[in-house]
Structure 1
Amino acid sequence: MPPFRQPSAAAPALSRTYPADFLADEAYRATLPDLQNGPASLIVGARKAIQHVGISNFRLPIRYRRQDGGEVTLETSVTGTVSLDADRKGINMSRIMRSFYAHAEKQFSLGVLAAAVSDYKDHLDAFDARLQMRLSYPLRAPSLRSGLEGWQYYDIAMELIDQGGRRLRVMHFDYVYSSTCPCSLELSEHARQARGQLATPHSQRSIARISAVMEGDDRLWFEDMVALCRRAVPTETQVMVKREDEQAFAELNAANPIFVEDAVRAFARELEAEPRIGDFRVIASHRESLHSHDAVSLLTEGPTFAQTSLDPMTFAGLRA
């Protein structure tokens, strides 16, 4: 590191006091450097188009409408990106936030999401744009037998993709359930009947992540996706549990033993029957209590989610 040098006598002295009363007027702002919109000669590295560039995880409260007509305000994490041409240096990322904030006070709808995407796509002169909102949605869930209720939370992400002039609306939905191994159940029953030996089947907390393209004009409510998942795999983990509920849950698991292959097919059956859903992907992970590894499965329908290579964190990223 070169030694520190005192400024020459000709150099002006720099103020070390923050100028709290300084106002940046329009004329001053016009003089500020803007490297993101600099010439192509400033590009670092390969002069290649970029598919996604933007901001991730800026948070703000958003109002969501419930299916019953009520409303809830939830902290929401927003990711916004646009494409960038090969001959452009960069983007002004704050414009993504400013475009979204212009619509943030409105009650959430896919129409609001579409308007925000259109705004920042125009402001940034981009061909493609994407906006994703992540939230944890609370619903009251009844216990199985005791009559108690508790709050069940569902991790959800709503995504709008504007690519090549085509817009896709996608819901990503996490569903946490218990999976009892059918093989273990049968072996436990064999031990009881053949040898009078008490045995218990193994089960584990499991998770499915469903990504579904929404079709048509009818709204697909978050509550609709909850009901769909419960029809497919009814052994959802419980919130409020007394002894009678714990016994009921053991009986419910015994009535619905399920391998990970069964799980993704059960979800697929319900998704195919839903007219408001087009292409979909189901990823499931059963966090094995017998093995020191997980059992995983992935099923896709349609070209939207078809893929040859998997991200190394595809299954590890599921949180049950």
Structure 2
Amino acid sequence: MHSHENTTRLMPDVAAQAQPHLTGALDWVGMDNIEVPVHFDAGDGEVQRTNAQVGAFVNLVQADKRGIHMSRLYLLVDRHLGTQPLSVAALRDLLDAFLESHKGLSDRARLSIRFDVLVRRAALRSANSGWRSYPVSIEASLGPDGFRLELGTEAVYSSTCPASAALARQLIQEQFARDFQAGQALDHAAVQAWLGTEQGIVATPHAQRSVARLLVRLVDGASFNLLDTLDRVEQALGTAVQTAVKREDEQAFALANGCNLMFCEDAARRIQKALDVDERLADFHVRVEHQESLHPHDAVAYASKGVPGGFGS
């Protein structure tokens, strides 16, 4: 009978075996869709635990090396992301650890993190509130050209077409001219009652659910504040989708739509103006998508901060 105590079992490592007939440096090697919990403060001081999908990569500069140590990347992701809240410093430390674990093989590291965060939003008029889920994406990289971090999210809102509103007003005017002859004395109560009928409001402008997809690059030293960015965008648009809705909230939303008529170009410029004054942002990229109710194709506009070499270049 043989004892296996205090013995080391040698296991084959074919990844370390060179393939002279197949060499070359690789831009990125790693794993994607790693499932891991993360802890994130959206900006209200409350750290939420949520499930994330993570991508972990390094380049492979040694052309004669067959592969990297993927298990090292996985264990580092688990150790760093599962035990502390996401922060700029924590992400840079993780990328440093990627490179340290692949010293001699890699000089660049990349990390992507995707998850949803819940934010409680108050109703427009009533005392109610409800939850909104916002997608978050984080892209971070570290290499000879330095550390770079980008944060992505999106805001969903309603957009009422200005052209459609003008055409609807024209039809209402024409209906008024038919129902109230020129030269006749107008009775205030009769006109007020007419305005409350379907015949009085004979046409309504079309509106559609719309999405503003945001990608921002933070300045050095800035920290995450997702809520601040979302609040700036939603306040600039004026018609963010709602959660808990009673009749008074729906009426207030209808009023907000009437006061915020916008083409996709208008929406993109509103967001551009709102983000331009945010000193935490070195650059930003905005894609506005109005998912039209008039026709099956979408109206789309792009905007950026316009910095040299930035997103808009």
Length-normalised TM-score, structure 1: 0.81
CA contact (8 A) 1:260 1:286 kept: yes
Q: Larger C-alpha radius of gyration, 1 or 2? A: 2
Alignment of 1:38-53 (within 5 A): 38-41=17-20, 43=22, 47-53=23-29
Percent of residue pairs bearing the same amino acid type: 30
Deviation at 1:42, TM superposition (A): 5.4
Q: Distance in 2 between matches of 1:136 and 1:42?
A: 45
| 2:280 paired residue number | 276
- Residue 106, structure 1, aligned to residue 84, structure 2: yes
Deviation at 1:206, TM superposition (A): 0.9
Deviation at 1:258, TM superposition (A): 1.2
Deviation at 1:24, TM superposition (A): 11
| Structure 2 unaligned residues grouped into runs of 5+ | 177-200
Alignment of 1:138-287 (within 5 A): 138-196=118-176, 198-287=202-291
SS of the aligned residue for 1:27 comes to coil
| 2:56 paired residue number | 80
Paired residue total: 281
Deviations 1:226-275 (A, max 9, x none): 21112221211111111111111111011111111112221111111100
**Which amino acid in 2 is paired with 1:279?**
D
Give the superposed CA RMSD: 2.2
- Residue 69, structure 1, aligned to residue 45, structure 2: yes
**Which amino acid in 1 is paired with 2:99?**
K
Q: Distance in 1 between matches of 2:165 and 2:138?
A: 38
- Residue 97, structure 1, aligned to residue 74, structure 2: yes
CA contact (8 A) 1:220 1:276 kept: no
Q: Quick one: structure 1 residues 281 and 66, their matched pair in 2 at CA, closer, same or farther if it must change by over 3 Å? A: closer
SS of the aligned residue for 1:170 comes to strand
Q: Distance in 1 between matches of 2:246 and 2:137?
A: 32
Deviation at 1:65, TM superposition (A): 2.9
Q: Distance in 2 between matches of 1:112 and 1:142?
A: 32
Runs of 4 or more, structure 1, over 6 Å off, are 23-26
| 1:19 paired residue number | none
| 1:318 paired residue number | none
Bigger mean CA offset, 84-93 vs 55-64: 84-93
Deviations 1:167-221 (A, max 9, x none): 1121111111111111111111111113346111111111111111101424241
| Structure 1 unaligned residues grouped into runs of 5+ | 1-22, 308-320
- Residue 305, structure 1, aligned to residue 311, structure 2: yes
| 2:195 paired residue number | none
Deviation at 1:94, TM superposition (A): 2.0
**Which amino acid in 2 is paired with 1:274?**
D
Deviation at 1:66, TM superposition (A): 4.9
Deviations 1:59-89 (A, max 9, x none): 2212223534332211111111222226132
Length-normalised TM-score, structure 2: 0.83
SS of the aligned residue for 1:192 comes to helix
Q: Distance in 2 between matches of 1:93 and 1:126?
A: 13
Q: Distance in 2 between matches of 1:25 and 1:99?
A: 28
CA contact (8 A) 1:42 1:89 kept: no
Alignment of 1:20-39 (within 5 A): 27-28=8-9, 30-35=10-15, 37-39=16-18
**Which amino acid in 2 is paired with 1:305?**
F
**Which amino acid in 2 is paired with 1:144?**
L
Deviation at 1:306, TM superposition (A): 4.2
Structure with more relative contact order (C-alpha pairs < 8 Å, separation 6 or more): 2
| 1:15 paired residue number | none
